[in-house]
Every structure is written in C-alpha cells, then in structure tokens.
C-alpha cells in the first residue's frame, strides 16, 4: 500500500456502485484542504459488461470480475463495498485483513450476527471501517439537526419520518436479492436503514424502544429476469414466478431518550414516489420540515408574538448552512444539491480520514461499523415488534450493548 497517494476501488457496479465511483472522482475538488493524490484503480462486478462500462465511464484504470481480485491487489488502499447485503461480511473481513480501508454500503449486513462479526473484524484491524449513511451529509438535514441542538425549536415533542419509493410497485419488476431474506430485510432494511438513523440524527437523541411495528408484503410473487439485473431499471422477464420473502411496506413508532415520540413509514411500492424522503420535527418553540425532493431548502415555523404574521417560511440553503461553503464549485445560495452530492461528501470524508486530515477541514467523519450495528439492532427491534403483534421492543443502549462471542 502506498504512503504518498491513495488508490481506490469499488466492488459492485450497480446504481449505488456508480455513485461511489463518481464520488471518488469528484471528492478531490471539494474544500480547500489538499488531499494526497487519489488514484482511481478498479471497478469490480461479477457481470463483466457492467464492470467494463463503469470503469471506462468514470476513469478507473481497470475492471475486475471478482471481489477477491480487489482485496488481493497491492495498489488499492480504499475499498467501497456496494453489493448485496448478505455479501458484506465476507468481503469486509477479507479486505480489512488484507490491510484495506473499507467503506461499506448500508445496511451493514443482513443479520445481527454478521454485523457483530464485522465490528469485531474492524476492532482487530488498524484500518478504517466505515458504513455509508449518506443522508446525514445533506445540508438541509444537518441544518434541521442544528435547529434542535441550538435550542431554536425548543424541547422536541415529535419526529415524523417517511421514505417512500416506487421501485417495486410494478408487479412485473423481476425478483432479485432485494426481495429475498427474513422479515425486515426488504423496504425496512433498504430505505428504513436511512430513515431510522435520520430520526435519531435530527431528533438529537437515541431511539430507546419501538412499538406498533407492522410489515406488509403486498406483491407476493415476481417474475424471474431473463438477463442480468443492475440497478432498478426494467429488464425482460420470463413467465416463471418466484416468491417474495420480505416486506414491501413497514411502519413503526419509537421512543427517543429525550422523551419525544417518533413515527416512521417506509415503502418500496408507493406509486409516484421514486425517492421521497421527508422529515418533520415538532418542538415547543416551533417546527422544521425537510423534503428531499427540494433538497436546497428547509421550511421553518416559529411561534411569533403576532399571530397575523406567524406561519411557515422557506429557508433557502446557502453558505451559512452546514457543508455548503467551499464545498461544491458553485456554493452560492439556491444552487441545487441532491443525493449524488451526498456520496461525494461521503467519499471526501473517507479520503480525508485515510489521509489523516483534521476533522475540522470539511466534514464530520463517516459512521463506524459500530454505528452500522446499532442501526441494524434498531431495525431488528422494529421487525420483532411487527412479528409479535406490535408490542414494545427495547433497543439496546449503544454504550451498553455487548457483542456475542
């Protein structure tokens, strides 16, 4: 491994893999603190045409068809793991053992046991082990959190979150790994992993327990694809059907350590909602709401003395808000920012940490594997609540939760 530059690789060239690949390419252009030279080394995917195309598109030196080739390569220092959740553990353990820094896509794994093993592997390693929870890089979401932390909204009463997607609303969408696995590994793990940590993030308090959990599978069978599946686009399908094993819709309520209540709703079958993430925080002094369909603004309501002028107002994000100033090339108020930029902020934070740059230079560090395990335990509690008729299920204190042997 080089000590003068940083070689990066991405395992998995689907939709999110492409986002990681593009992010490393752009990360060096953010902020003024100089990174060491970053080499775009390799893209790996078992489906070679996608690996070839992604490597060429984003300027990587070569492609591979196995993750083992990435792990064994001596010219690679940082690895993004962007494959099916069930494969995370094996690849992460091997990469850490080979001396690679690892950035693993959320959720950390598909089982608590595997996630715990990944945390232990990270503890044994001298390398960084981080999990991709990209939305907390959103300036708007971070601003809502700041309004809670600095007391602008007062004591928080209620946090309401929704993440609605429609990638599974068509019954002809083919079966894939996303539709296989135990209860809670569907929409809850896919988009609920984002939303659940964001409820804690904007609420500035840990979730201590969940209740009223409900999981629903509304499309029970899907056709098998005739070719390879990459991302969420349409592909040709056969007449043969396969069984959907996990959840299309998930809802639950939660208790925060602050005394606030949270409500959470996620779906992968919400027609007309390709990527609708919403967060609302209601406090004693006012409220704030964020809608990722309009990521360059936050809506704010504060109790005013004159009821005639009291009401919601729109805050257009700009250099005075988190992560904005000196980040993207155009950092003026009102310039658009969205999900792709979140991946760039994430890659920048990873590279800065690998390079040993001060945290104050740009962004707070990415979440650790331990944070990823915490998130998975929260989702497991929601699943257990759903499987037991909605009863209250505690979420282990992150400081007290121990790893099983």
- Domain check: are 127 and 191 in the same one? no
Say if residues 21 and 54 touch (Cβ distance below 8 Å): yes
For residue 390, tell me if it sits in a domain: no
- Domain check: are 194 and 325 in the same one? yes
CA–CA distance, 374 with 115 (Å, rounded to integer): 9
In the numeric block, which tokens belong to residue 326?
Answer: 């000196």
- Domain check: are 121 and 214 in the same one? no
- Domain of residue 299 covers 139-335
- Predicted pLDDT of residue 361: 52
- Predicted pLDDT of residue 136: 84
For residue 392, tell me if it sits in a domain: no
- Domain check: are 89 and 228 in the same one? no
Q: Mean pLDDT for each 10-residue chunk of the chain (405 residues)?
A: 81 94 92 86 96 97 98 98 95 98 94 95 97 90 96 97 96 93 93 95 96 97 83 78 97 97 98 97 98 95 83 91 77 76 91 80 81 94 96 81 44
Domain boundary among 119, 135, 151: 135
End-to-end CA distance of the chain: 32
- Domain check: are 259 and 310 in the same one? yes
Domain boundary among 135, 165, 196: 135
Helix (H) or strand (E) holding 150: none
- Domain check: are 171 and 122 in the same one? no
CA torsion 254→256→259→261, rounded to 10°? -30
- Domain check: are 192 and 87 in the same one? no
- Predicted pLDDT of residue 404: 41
Domain boundary among 300, 335, 370: 335
3-state secondary structure of 294: coil
CA–CA distance, 287 with 303 (Å, rounded to integer): 9
Taking alpha carbons only, the member of 30, 88, 20, 31 closest to residue 54 is 20
Instruction: Return the residue matching tokens 């553990």.
Output: 89
CA–CA distance, 118 with 105 (Å, rounded to integer): 13
- Domain check: are 223 and 284 in the same one? yes
In the numeric block, which tokens belong to residue 18?
Answer: 């492409």
CATH of the domain at 265: 3.30.360.10
Say if residues 393 and 381 touch (Cβ distance below 8 Å): yes
- Domain check: are 217 and 329 in the same one? yes
- Domain check: are 202 and 326 in the same one? yes
Q: What does the DSSP 8-state code read for residue 360? A: G
CATH of the domain at 124: 3.40.50.720
DSSP string, 156-224: EEEEEEEEE--TT-STTSPP-GGG-SSTTSSHHHHTHHHHHHHHHHHHTS-EEEEEEEEEE-S--EEEE
For residue 358, tell me if it sits in a domain: no
Per the structure, the count of domains in the chain is 2
- Domain check: are 184 and 217 in the same one? yes
- Predicted pLDDT of residue 396: 84
3-state secondary structure of 37: strand
For residue 400, tell me if it sits in a domain: no
């Amino acid at each position: 491994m080089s000590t003068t530059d940083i070689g990066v690789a991405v395992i998995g060239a689907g939709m999110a893999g492409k986002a990681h690949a593009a992010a490393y390419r752009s990360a060096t252009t953010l902020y003024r603190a100089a990174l060491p030279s970053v080499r775009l080394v390799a893209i790996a995917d078992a489906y070679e045409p996608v690996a070839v195309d992604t490597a060429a598109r984003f300027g990587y030196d070569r492609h591979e068809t196995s993750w083992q080739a990435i792990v064994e390569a001596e010219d690679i220092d940082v690895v993004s793991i962007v494959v099916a959740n069930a494969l995370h553990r094996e690849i992460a353990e091997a990469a850490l053992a080979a001396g690679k820094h690892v950035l693993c896509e959320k959720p950390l794994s598909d089982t608590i046991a595997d996630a715990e093993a990944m945390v232990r592997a990270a503890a044994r390693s001298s390398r960084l082990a981080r999990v991709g929870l990209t939305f907390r890089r959103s300036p708007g979401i971070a601003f809502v959190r700041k309004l809670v932390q600095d007391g602008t909204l007062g004591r928080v009463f209620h946090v309401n979150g929704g993440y609605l997607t429609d990638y599974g609303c068509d019954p002809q969408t083919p079966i894939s790994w996303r539709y296989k696995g135990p209860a809670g590994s569907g929409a809850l793990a896919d988009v609920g992993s984002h939303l659940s940590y964001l409820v804690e993030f904007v609420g500035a308090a840990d979730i201590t327990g969940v209740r009223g959990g409900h999981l629903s599978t509304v499309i029970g069978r899907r056709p098998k694809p005739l070719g390879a599946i990459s991302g969420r686009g349409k592909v040709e399908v056969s007449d043969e059907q396969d069984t959907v094993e996990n959840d299309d819709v998930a809802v639950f309520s939660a208790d925060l350590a602050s005394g606030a209540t949270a409500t959470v709703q996620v779906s992968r079958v919400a027609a007309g909602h390709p990527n609708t993430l919403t967060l609302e925080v209601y406090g004693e002094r006012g409220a704030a709401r964020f809608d990722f369909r309009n990521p360059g603004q936050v809506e704010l309501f504060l109790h005013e003395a004159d009821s005639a002028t009291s009401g919601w107002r729109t805050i257009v994000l700009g250099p005075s808000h988190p992560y904005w100033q000196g980040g993207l090339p155009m950092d003026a108020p009102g310039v658009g920012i969205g999900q792709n930029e979140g991946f760039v902020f994430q890659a920048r934070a990873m590279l800065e940490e690998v390079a040993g740059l001060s945290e104050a230079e740009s962004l707070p560090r990415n979440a650790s594997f331990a944070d990823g395990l915490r998130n998975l335990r929260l989702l497991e509690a929601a699943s257990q609540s759903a499987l037991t008729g909605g009863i209250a299920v505690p979420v282990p204190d992150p400081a007290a939760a121990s790893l099983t042997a």
